[in-house]
Chains A and B, each alone.
Chain A
Amino acid sequence: MKATTPPWPVISRILAAVLGGYLFTYAFTAALARLLPLAKVDALVVATLASFLVYTLAILWAFGCRSARRAWAGLALALPLAVIGFWPQLLETLG
């Protein structure tokens, strides 16, 4: 917004929010659907319906937290969540 500040932190934050936030939400939704003690289809629908709220909060968090680096660090939680969500597929790939 101000011409004096370098644009990189802002761009990094936007990328973290939009792309990082989506990846986080994707992994979160997959993990939630896997963990919910419901029938497969029900868990899928419930987790997916909630995903837009998760994405919104992830975006707000990425902009609200103190630095872009922290935002990226938080969104890196996507990795363990993805491992939970795609556990069977992962096992299959590993042999």
Chain B
Amino acid sequence: MKQKTLTQSLSWLHTWSGLIFGWLLFAIFLTGTLAVFDKEIDAWMRPELPTQLIDQAEAAQRALDYLAARHPDASTWNIGLPTERSPSLSVSAGEQRRGGGQYLDPHSGEPLEARETAGGGFFFRFHFTLNMPRNIGIWVVGLAAMAMLVALISGIVIHKKIFKEFFTFRPAKGQRSWLDAHNATGVLLLPFHLMITYTGLVIFYLIYMPAAMDALFDGDRDALFRELRGAPAEQRAEAGRQPTLAQRGEQSGERAERQNGASERPAGRGERPNGQGGRAGEQSRPAAEAAPLTALGPLLAEAERVIGPVAGLSIQNPGRSDARIEARPVLGNRIELTKGQSMQFDGVSGAVLRMPTESRPSQLTQRVMAGLHFAQFGGYPMRWLYFLCSLASCAMIATGLVLFTVKRRRRHEAEGAVGALLYRVAERLNIAVVAGLALACVGLLWANRLLPVELAQRGGWEVRVFFLVWLATLGHAIVRPWLQAWREQLGLAAALCLGLPLLNLAGMVRGSHFWLEASAVALGALLAWTCWKVGQPPQERPARRAAKTLAEAN
């Protein structure tokens, strides 16, 4: 008796938490799926930049020549080096923090004008802030992640025949098929769902659960990070610094920085072993003598030997005897989310001044968990694995949402006016959230190519197009008949995905983005298939009877 009530109450919990947060979760998961390839999308959205990879030392020399000619007196030079995923070269000088950087042609060293765009980073930011003010967004997403965790665990409990039913799939049977699809995607990738949800919460663990910090450190974040790092005399730059373009060139570095801004103060950059802040360093500059910078080739080779592929360099006091060069690793040289794990060299002699710090075991645990979520490790095969698993997560959430309405379609007449209204609202929201968001995402990419390049605040307009398209799909879902609305939105999204390569005709494109366009076409085909499938009426009884007689005959 009690067992029955437990299953029932958890089933209730699963249904309602799944429904209320399912719309939000679908948006978070879909943009997260796209964010797996954020840098590739980013490169596609800046078609003026070449995509051919070039030797880093050579590119660094071009950047140095440019900086020496244009910014000889700057206190700091930042260089974003071309890497496997992000083959562009960018530089910035001095205290420029917000978009003050400049793309360079890595072959000639000439400045390149790239269009202003929201970039692939939009999907990444939307994934964890929903484009809301950062702190509010993080809390809303955290709440949704908790709901996901609760839905997953309660889903396991109510799904008693978890193993047997995993092998059951009854296609084209209406409600049963939706349930089977929901169960199959849910169970097959259960470890992935649990991992990605839990590690997502762990990224901002001290924001969500500051209890231990409040108890042991009286809520003093700075004191905690001093002790975590174990180095007493280090000073960190002020929090919330905006990354420059040069740092954006290695966008995973930017990710780390953004994470840093919330869960930890930025470490590494701006951090000096002698305990001087950036300003103190500037004041001491006149005392230093002029001295040539060391050759970057051997320095890069040494840095790569120790920390793996290098994403960028910061040079403090270039051309002075007290010059310092900091090399930052590409995020994902290891599973651990290596934020602020830079290595410092003497800018004149090239000697190593500071090796990257090792995390203590407990902190390493947290960073490895965060790294598992960020999926920066393991190269492209791992990235594809994450992408496909996340697509399956999206499918699980979407089928769950559809299942809710399909299940109640027959019942809602009996549930009175309120029930009928709720059912209608859920039905329409499902269309706008699932098909509409897909449409809005691909709409953003179309806007990137079709909006005039000289438009002011172009990146902001791209985002506006994204939200306007999304809003339009909601209106469309309300006025059109249910099935037609599904088919039309899925069909349009499919057409836009399939047509993505055609956009290259809309303007000059310097690089080749074959894989991204091929993937878009594949996703377009998937959407088209779904659109066609949704239009098929569920098969009638005879099919099942035939299967049953077959089973009996065996």
Interface residues in chain A, defined as those with a beta carbon under 8 Å from any beta carbon in chain B: 1, 3, 25-34, 38, 40-49, 51-53, 55-56, 59-60, 63-64, 66, 85-86, 89
**Residue among B215, B361, B418 making CB contact with A42, cutoff 8 Å:** B361
**Residue among A48, A52, A56, A60 making CB contact with B212, cutoff 8 Å:** A48
Contacts A48-B209, A63-B10 given; does A89 touch B224 at CB 8 Å: no
Within 8 A of A (CB), among B68-107: none
Docked-complex contact B6 and A42, CB < 8 angstroms: no
A-B contacts, CB under 8 A, total: 110
**Residue among B153, B211, B216 making CB contact with A27, cutoff 8 Å:** B211
Interfacial chain A residues near B415, Cβ < 8 Å: 3
Docked-complex contact B366 and A49, CB < 8 angstroms: yes
Q: Does B362 contact A (CB under 8 A)?
A: yes
Docked-complex contact B362 and A56, CB < 8 angstroms: no
What are 21 A-B contacts with C-beta separation under 8 Å?
A3-B415, A25-B209, A33-B216, A34-B216, A41-B227, A44-B217, A45-B363, A46-B362, A49-B202, A49-B365, A51-B205, A52-B209, A53-B198, A56-B149, A59-B146, A59-B150, A60-B10, A60-B153, A64-B9, A64-B10, A85-B215
Docked-complex contact B9 and A29, CB < 8 angstroms: no
Tell me, in angstroms, the Cα distance from A94 to B137 when the chains sit together: 38
Within 8 A of A (CB), among B402-426: 415-416, 418-419
Give 10 closest A-B pairs by Cβ, nearest first.
A33-B212, A30-B215, A29-B211, A45-B362, A42-B362, A44-B212, A30-B211, A26-B211, A51-B209, A85-B215
**Residue among A27, A38, A49, A60 making CB contact with B150, cutoff 8 Å:** A60
Docked-complex contact A52 and B149, CB < 8 angstroms: yes
Docked-complex contact B201 and A48, CB < 8 angstroms: no
CB distance from A16 to the nearest CB of B (A): 12
Docked-complex contact B154 and A60, CB < 8 angstroms: yes
CB distance from A77 to the nearest CB of B (A): 15
Interfacial chain B residues near A56, Cβ < 8 Å: 146, 149-150, 153
**Residue among A3, A42, A47, A48 making CB contact with B360, cutoff 8 Å:** A42
Docked-complex contact A26 and B228, CB < 8 angstroms: no
Docked-complex contact B150 and A48, CB < 8 angstroms: no
Tell me, in angstroms, the Cα distance from A35 to B89 when the chains sit together: 51
Docked-complex contact B146 and A52, CB < 8 angstroms: yes
Docked-complex contact B216 and A40, CB < 8 angstroms: yes
Bits for B98-140, please: 1 = Cβ < 8 Å to A, else 0.
0000000000000000000000000000000000000000000
Known A29-B211, A41-B228, A59-B150; 10 more pairs at CB < 8 Å: A1-B12, A30-B211, A30-B214, A43-B212, A47-B212, A52-B208, A56-B146, A56-B153, A60-B10, A85-B211
Interfacial chain A residues near B474, Cβ < 8 Å: none
Contacts A49-B205, A63-B9 given; does A29 touch B212 at CB 8 Å: yes
Bits for B348-365, please: 1 = Cβ < 8 Å to A, else 0.
000000000000111101
Within 8 A of A (CB), among B352-407: 360-363, 365-366, 369
Interfacial chain B residues near A51, Cβ < 8 Å: 205, 208-209, 211-212
Interfacial chain B residues near A49, Cβ < 8 Å: 202, 205, 365-366, 369
In the complex, which of the residues B157, B209, B213 has the most CB atoms of chain A within 10 Å of its own CB atom?
A: B209
Docked-complex contact A48 and B205, CB < 8 angstroms: yes
Tell me, in angstroms, the Cα distance from A21 to B180 when the chains sit together: 32
Q: Does B549 contact A (CB under 8 A)?
A: no
Tell me, in angstroms, the Cα distance from A25 to B494 when the chains sit together: 45
**Residue among B153, B208, B213 making CB contact with A44, cutoff 8 Å:** B213
Q: Does B218 contact A (CB under 8 A)?
A: yes
Q: Does B206 contact A (CB under 8 A)?
A: yes
Interfacial chain B residues near A52, Cβ < 8 Å: 146, 149, 198, 201-202, 205, 208-209
**Residue among A1, A48, A66 making CB contact with B211, cutoff 8 Å:** A48
Tell me, in angstroms, the Cα distance from A25 to B12 when the chains sit together: 23
CB distance from B309 to the nearest CB of A (A): 28
Interfacial chain A residues near B208, Cβ < 8 Å: 51-52
Interfacial chain A residues near B153, Cβ < 8 Å: 56, 60
Docked-complex contact A3 and B419, CB < 8 angstroms: yes
Tell me, in angstroms, the Cα distance from A61 to B415 when the chains sit together: 29
Residue of B nearest to A40 (CB): B216
Bits for B192-233, please: 1 = Cβ < 8 Å to A, else 0.
000000100110011011011111111000001001100000
Tell me, in angstroms, the Cα distance from A48 to B87 when the chains sit together: 38
Docked-complex contact A33 and B215, CB < 8 angstroms: yes
Q: Does B525 contact A (CB under 8 A)?
A: no
CB distance from B408 to the nearest CB of A (A): 11
CB distance from B499 to the nearest CB of A (A): 42
Q: Does B536 contact A (CB under 8 A)?
A: no
Interfacial chain A residues near B216, Cβ < 8 Å: 33-34, 40, 43-44
Interfacial chain A residues near B212, Cβ < 8 Å: 29-30, 32-33, 43-44, 47-48, 51
Interfacial chain A residues near B206, Cβ < 8 Å: 48
Tell me, in angstroms, the Cα distance from A2 to B219 when the chains sit together: 44
Residue of A nearest to B226 (CB): A41
Q: Does B554 contact A (CB under 8 A)?
A: no
Residue of A nearest to B200 (CB): A52
Docked-complex contact A55 and B146, CB < 8 angstroms: yes
Interfacial chain A residues near B369, Cβ < 8 Å: 49
Interfacial chain B residues near A46, Cβ < 8 Å: 362, 365
Residue of A nearest to B5 (CB): A66
Tell me, in angstroms, the Cα distance from A85 to B215 when the chains sit together: 6
Tell me, in angstroms, the Cα distance from A27 to B227 when the chains sit together: 23
Q: Does B24 contact A (CB under 8 A)?
A: no
Interfacial chain B residues near A48, Cβ < 8 Å: 205-206, 209, 211-213
In the complex, which of the residues B5, B211, B217, B360 has the most CB atoms of chain A within 10 Å of its own CB atom?
A: B211
CB distance from B263 to the nearest CB of A (A): 11
Interfacial chain A residues near B13, Cβ < 8 Å: 60, 63
Tell me, in angstroms, the Cα distance from A33 to B215 when the chains sit together: 8
Interfacial chain A residues near B228, Cβ < 8 Å: 41
Interfacial chain B residues near A33, Cβ < 8 Å: 211-212, 215-216
